[in-house]
Amino acid sequence: MFDDQSFFEQALYISLGQETQILSSRLIAAGNINQGVFLKTTEHTLFLKVNFQESPDIFEKEALGLNLLMENSPLKIPEVYHFGRIEDRNFLLMEWIHSDAGKNQYWNELGVGLAEMHMTSRGDFGLDTHNYIASLRQENSNNVVWSDFFIENRLEPLIGKAYYEGLLDLDFLKTFQSIYPKLKDIFPNEKPALLHGDLWSGNVMRGEMGVPVLIDPAVYFGHREMDLAFSQLFGGFDTRFYKAYQEVFPLEPGFEDRVPIYNLYPLLVHLLLFGKSYLSGIERTVKRLL
């Protein structure tokens, strides 16, 4: 596939509106869902994402998310050139980010930038369209109450899907659903914040001069603690990031106790994508709440 010069040329023609000479191409990422290709042309250095997902709008939603972040974040966001589908393949063409170890202020800039991005708000939680987290549909029906949004759009759709796919039994499904009333008074009352939505270390990179760059978002307006909790799920970010964030936009007391509750959502995502090894983390949090 990745020696498919014809496919690359078609994607470039659709995106740029003209025939473009490709000087070199190479596969640089081969994940479970998407593959990434570096393309160098006579005029551009580009990043082409490709997948075989049945959902033809998966990269359209990612492009919308990237553009929303670009409009509302001081952090660097890759420019989107175009997205589309050629036969059975979806593609998204973006600016290539030149990586550079850069300066020592990376974590501070990331923390400050995320805090400022989280100050972008609107009247309710959600988004004007559904989108995706990885390959899973992410529901974004609007709600003015965060706990209701979290239950109805984040937890219930995925725990139901996990039961349907045989990843947990009926007893645990009912036990999980029994925590919902307990969530009503747990979260601080805050305005909806523009979230990255999938904020782990693999979706943040260093760009030119070491500036922080956000990639692969699953955006919506949610509780800002969701992003910060997600950032702790797989090892966490440098402590300088959290300190810088707190100095700009301090969190309400008790955040660390709420982290496992927020992370029920990404753990459910991983349960559905990668299997039952992620169920134990969900079970621990549910047990703690009961």
**Residues labelled as active-site residues:** 198
Please give the angle made by the CA atoms of 269, 270 and 272, to the nearest 5 degrees.
70
Residue pair 169/155 in contact by the 8 Å Cβ criterion = no
> What residue type is 7 in one-letter code?
F
CB-count exposure of residue 192 (10 Å: 0-12, 13-18, 19+): buried
Strand partners, 41: 22
Closest CA to 73 of 121, 105, 108, 114: 114
- The answer to whether the CB of 53 falls within 8 A of the CB of 33 is yes
Tell which residue, 201, 202, 228, has the closest CA to residue 117.
Answer: 228
The token pair that represents 132 in the structure block: 């995706």
Q: Indicate the SS3 state at residue 262.
A: helix
User: Which parts of the chain fold into alpha helices (H)?
Assistant: 5-16, 58-72, 106-118, 146-149, 156-164, 170-177, 225-230, 239-248, 255-262, 264-274, 279-289
